[in-house]
Chain A
Amino acid sequence: MKKVMINQQEVVIDDNCSLQALLNAQGINPVGIAVAVNNSVIKRIEWERTMLADGDKVMVIRATCGG
């Protein structure tokens, strides 16, 4: 088991947990979001193969479109 932070809340995950699996488990709607791990945005096509490590900080950033 590993601990990661998602939007500043601690979550316990399995050892082999991808970013995509974490988002699914947290029930996060993937439409209109960007996701950063340790302050770097992870491209959507890489969510599935990005494996999370103990202590990773995940930030979900919602798109805004107003001007």
Chain B
Amino acid sequence: MDKERYSRHLLLPEIGEQGQLKLAKSRVLIVGVGGLGSPIALYLTAAGVGTLGLIDPDVVSLTNLQRQVLYSTQQIGELKVEAARKRLLELSPDTQIDIYPYSLQIENARDIINQYDIVIDGCDNFNTRYLINDICQALKIPYVYGSIGAFQGQVALFDFNSDKSYRDLFPEQEEFQSLQLPKGVMGVMPGVIGTLQAAETIKKIVGCGNTLTNQLFTIDLLTMQTMVVEI
């Protein structure tokens, strides 16, 4: 282990050498490397996570750059997972980056998710969230939920040691699929939520503090009101 690189973690009794070794051995999958996935991938690579899987079919576009801080103007048109891997390998050689340049689908989800210890949600639609939730629940792999819209964001963690899941929060409804949610989002919003998802992931891997297990955290950046509710 590179003790100099991780010295500020090693100084924390809650993390220390044991915690840092757990991070180095951990395998984390990020579904979607857009607004949420950008800070999640950057912070988990910086934190020394051993293996990071990135799954996303998209290419970098100009509209992404207002919030997707992994990418640069020169990378417009490149596959996000490839552009992300380049940036993350520059940040640290300690993290192995596995890339999947396609969407998570019912046909591939189980095989991909089964290779990881924890799955983080950085996707942009309800169907993928149900899919991540259901496969993680079946495999008992912890799921770190996050989503954003406009000035609002939400984070939760499901470890499936109880029967609680994302479906208890927002049950699947036909009307749900047609729900038109505005695409506008304040650029820092995914930074706030993605960073909290990364923090929950690190705490879960290391085993320190209290995580948002079966709890929903919400924040409204317009009013700065936050809330934690039991699911």
Contacts and interface: CB of A to CB of B under 8 A. Distances in A.
Contacts of A34: 169-170, 216
Interface in B136-151: 146-150
A1 interface: no
A64 interface: yes
Contact of A61 (B35, B168, B185, B218): B218
Contacts of A43: 168, 171
Interface of B: 32, 34-37, 121-126, 129, 146-150, 152-154, 168-171, 173, 175-176, 179, 181, 183, 185, 190, 216, 218, 227-231
Contacts of A41: 168-169, 216, 229-231
A67 B169 contact: no
Nearest to B173: A31
B124 A66 contact: yes
Contacts of B229: 36, 39-41, 59, 61
A62 interface: yes
Interface residues on A, range: 10 to 19
Nearest to A43: B168
Contact of A40 (B124, B170, B230): B230
A64 B168 contact: no
Contacts of A59: 227, 229
Contacts of A39: 227-230
B231 A64 contact: no
Nearest to B182: A66
A10 to B, nearest CB: 17
11 contacts: A31-B173, A36-B229, A36-B230, A39-B229, A62-B149, A62-B152, A64-B154, A65-B125, A65-B126, A66-B185, A67-B32
Given A31-B179, A39-B229, A41-B168, A67 B218 contact: no
Contacts of B126: 63, 65
Contacts of A62: 149, 152
Given A32-B175, A66-B35, A66-B147, 17 more contacts: A31-B175, A31-B179, A32-B176, A34-B216, A39-B230, A40-B229, A41-B230, A43-B168, A59-B229, A63-B147, A64-B148, A64-B153, A65-B124, A65-B129, A65-B149, A66-B124, A67-B146
